[in-house]
Structure 1
Amino acid sequence: MTIDGMQLTEMDDGAIRAFLTNQKMGVLGLPTDGTPYLLPMSFGYDDGSTLYFAFVGGPDSRKRTLIEATDRAGFLVYAAESPFNWESVLLSGTVEAVPESEWDDIDSVLATAWRPAVVEAAMETEAVAVYRFGVEEWSGYKHTGLPPGFDPATDA
């Protein structure tokens, strides 16, 4: 099946915002000299154009070293319910550290980020840094079709 035959829909800004509001995990892509460094990240979304990440680990961790060395990054958020029902949003933008003096101001946004228990425990004993991802561009697509043989409109 070609992409023209798929029930693929480009998401508008409202659909992208709604999708980001309902998702809590994505993949952060950081530039390197070779292959981009990709890591799963939980995030908080401010319902506008900013995502927030909390990094756990010392200042020598690879992700902190790479994020401090750049001001640009990519972020992919997706949900795949089935081969015929999925959504995907690709974001690009700037990334910068949030000063600890501002953490209380974004506490409610950070609280919406899902974190595995191991990360929650580490946050109590390890160094934590918070980063702001300022969205400059986004695009999203969703596929909400039915499997072949289940759509009477196309099977007739």
Structure 2
Amino acid sequence: MTVSALEAAGLTRMDDGEIRSFLSNRRVGVLGLPTDDGPYMIPLSFGYDENRTLYFTFVGGPSSRKQTLAEQADTACVLAYAVESLFHWESVRLNGTIDAVPESEWDDLAAVLDSAWRPELFETAIEAGDIAVYRFHVDEQEGVRHAGLPPGFEPE
């Protein structure tokens, strides 16, 4: 079934402003990096600068698979979503490019990087470990949402 067909059941497409607002209020998603065997999917937290750019902090050093794949990737995808119920959810899919941010720029990004949600375990790993910061430039974005009950299910 296509997105157009689902619009009859209450699905709506998000405009650029709604996508910006959604990404500003979400701090987790899934990064997809290309491999020969299909996409390598990584749950992650991100900072968003509201200018079509997300920032990720990778823990694990240059021998980590995600860092190696990010360095090799021409393109990548990010999926961010929120699900409150069967009839109330939002999803944003982003396609773009990913590149390493030089350490000399990290201080300039402190506010954006600090806004990313991280479990305490990751905070400890960041303080003690080898980290890298990556920038994801959004080239294409699409957002959809469903809020409310589908037609025919409204309360009487």
TM-score bucket of the superposed structures, by smaller chain: over 0.9
Q: Root-mean-square deviation (CA), in Å?
A: 1.7
Question: Which residue of the other structure, out of 108, 111, 115, is the alignment partner of 1:112?
Answer: 115
Q: Secondary structure at the match of 1:141?
A: strand
C-alpha spacing 1:4/1:114, structure 2 compared with 1 (3 Å): closer
Establish whether residue 37 from structure 1 lines up as the match of residue 40 from structure 2. Answer: yes
Instruction: Report if the CA contact (8 A) 1:6-1:145 is conserved.
Output: no
Runs of 5+ in structure 1 lacking a partner? none
- Equivalent residue runs for 1:40-119 within 5 Å: 40-119=43-122
- Aligned AA (1:89): V
Distance (Å, rounded) in 1 between the aligned partners of 2:20 and 2:35: 29
SS in 1 for 2:126: helix
Give the drift of 1:124.
Answer: 1.1
Contact 1:43 1:52 in 2 (8 A): yes
Matched, 1:25 2:23: no
The alignment's TM-score, normalised by the length of structure 2, stands at 0.93
SS at match of 1:114: coil
Runs ≥4 residues deviating over 4 A: 147-150
Pairwise CA distance, 1:58: 1.8
- Report sequence identity in percent: 60
Paired AA for residue 127 in structure 2: E
Q: Could you tell me how far 1:35 is from its partner in structure 2? A: 1.8
TM-score, scaled relative to structure 1: 0.93
Does 1:14 pair with 2:17? Answer: yes
Please report how far the alpha carbon of residue 71 of structure 1 lies from its aligned counterpart in structure 2 after TM superposition: 2.9
Shift of 1:48: 1.2
The unaligned stretches of length 5 or more in structure 2 are none
SS of 1:71's partner is coil
The one-letter code matched in structure 1 to 2:100 is A
Q: How many residues align?
A: 153
